[in-house]
A = this chain, B = another copy of it.
Amino acid sequence: MSLKIRKLDSSAAGFDAALAAVLAFEASEDEAIERSVAQILADVKRRGDAAVLEYTNRFDRLDASSVAALELPITELEAALESLQPKQRAALEAAAARVRGYHEKQKIECGSHSWQYTEADGTVLGQKVTPLDRAGIYVPGGKAAYPSSVLMNALPARVAGVREIVMVVPTPDGVKNPLVLAAALIGGVDRVFTIGGAQAIGALAYGTETVPAVDKICGPGNAYVASAKRRVFGTVGIDMIAGPSEILVLCDGTTDPRWVAMDLFSQAEHDELAQSILLAPDDAFIARVEEAMAELLPTMPRRDVIQRSLEDRGALVKVRDMAEACAIANRIAPEHLEISALDPQQWANEIRHAGAIFVGRFTSESLGDYCAGPNHVLPTSRTARFSSPLGVYDFFKRSSVIEVSAEGAQTLGEIAAELAYGEGLPAHAKSAEYRMKQTG
């Protein structure tokens, strides 16, 4: 198998434009999908259970008599957990324990506590921090059903203190994935409905007679699910609309090229649109990685997807030095960034924009995907410039708290009234002045 992966050199003329072309990705919008989703959502909003039941029976080829019959009893989740091979179950539980532990630390560090302070005149200011009442988690059915995703979405919500977690997962032709159901139990999901698609998103957003309305919907899905999430945003919160997955490997040439090759493969095997890029200051090393890829590719079960992904969207980039590699990494703002180098910390210090930074050659991305502890739901498509991994903070929200003392109302009233008159809002001014002794 010959692999034709794009090669760039940061010193070459036109490098910036060439890199931009590699990174360019426009999610296409499908008119037919948009129309269909809009109609399904409107129908679920209007007819509730009846609509959800009809769409589910039709699209998933089921014969359920009610939406209630589509809810899985907890005993079925328990049976799924019992059915796993001991080694598989142990791995799932170990991963959950580590992810839970990390997010518990995060809860302490990320400012999930209410706070306030009192000023000299007795005025109290602060913020009240509260978890969401109810979260919904979408889990895709079929091939892309990942138990690790169930854990990564449910555990931060659980740790944040969300009262109820409702999971939806389609079961086309009635096929259930025991790993996914076991993960739901381990992750602390409260209720599971075997519904999917835009109808499931509608049910979670608007609520039906049987499915409770949630406050935020998380989790990945196909184009219908993504469109539906976008449309219900505002009625409920959503996590993010993820683009194709990405890895950027920065390597100083001191790592086994086969390790680097396999790390690039691990991203590429996700799907054909996934993006794997290597930045290295050493032509000879890049050549060795290329050789390793050519050698390893035929051994990979998912070689067709890997090849297509690498040839369409991958790149091997020769850079001047590791400092330049860091600067380019900040421009790319990748979802996953591996720093495979001697003294990797010095380079990690230079990174401002990345979903997750994998420091040092022993930290393969796949360890983070499953069990290191941090969340694997990460910002893609350069959105790491302004957004963060899914975390505990996505499952709480803040209310400002303001308690102005009688004395404080005098000084603040004067400032507010002056500005309110300036903005042409006299009722605002009067409302402040009423609290001032000299005028009220």
Taking residues whose C-beta sits less than 8 angstroms from the other chain, chain A's interface range is 35 or more
- Are B94 and A415 interface neighbours, CB within 8 A? yes
- Are A435 and B364 interface neighbours, CB within 8 A? yes
A232 CA to B412 CA in the complex, in Å? Answer: 38
Among A56-64, A110-118, A277-285, which stretch is in contact with chain B?
A110-118
Q: Which residues of B contact A259 (CB under 8 A)?
A: 431, 434-435, 440
Q: Closest B-chain residue to A345, C-beta based?
A: B403
- Are B383 and A389 interface neighbours, CB within 8 A? no
List the number of copies, as a whole number. Answer: 2
The dominant DSSP class at the A interface is mixed
Which A residues between 100 and 122 are near B, CB-CB below 8 angstroms? 102, 105-106, 109-113, 115, 117
- Are B397 and A360 interface neighbours, CB within 8 A? no
Q: Which residues of B contact A399 (CB under 8 A)?
A: 351, 353-357, 384, 388-389
Chain A residues at the B interface, C-beta cutoff of 8 Å:
87-88, 91-92, 94-95, 102, 105-106, 109-113, 115, 117, 123-125, 127-128, 130, 132-133, 143, 146-148, 179, 215-216, 234, 236-237, 241, 256, 258-259, 262-263, 265-266, 268-270, 300-302, 306, 344-345, 348, 351-375, 378-379, 381, 383-389, 391, 393, 397-406, 408-409, 412-416, 418-420, 422-432, 434-435, 440
16 pairs, CB–CB < 8 Å, chain A vs chain B: A88-B418, A110-B398, A111-B112, A123-B372, A124-B359, A128-B348, A130-B353, A179-B423, A266-B425, A357-B401, A359-B401, A363-B403, A363-B404, A366-B432, A367-B402, A393-B393
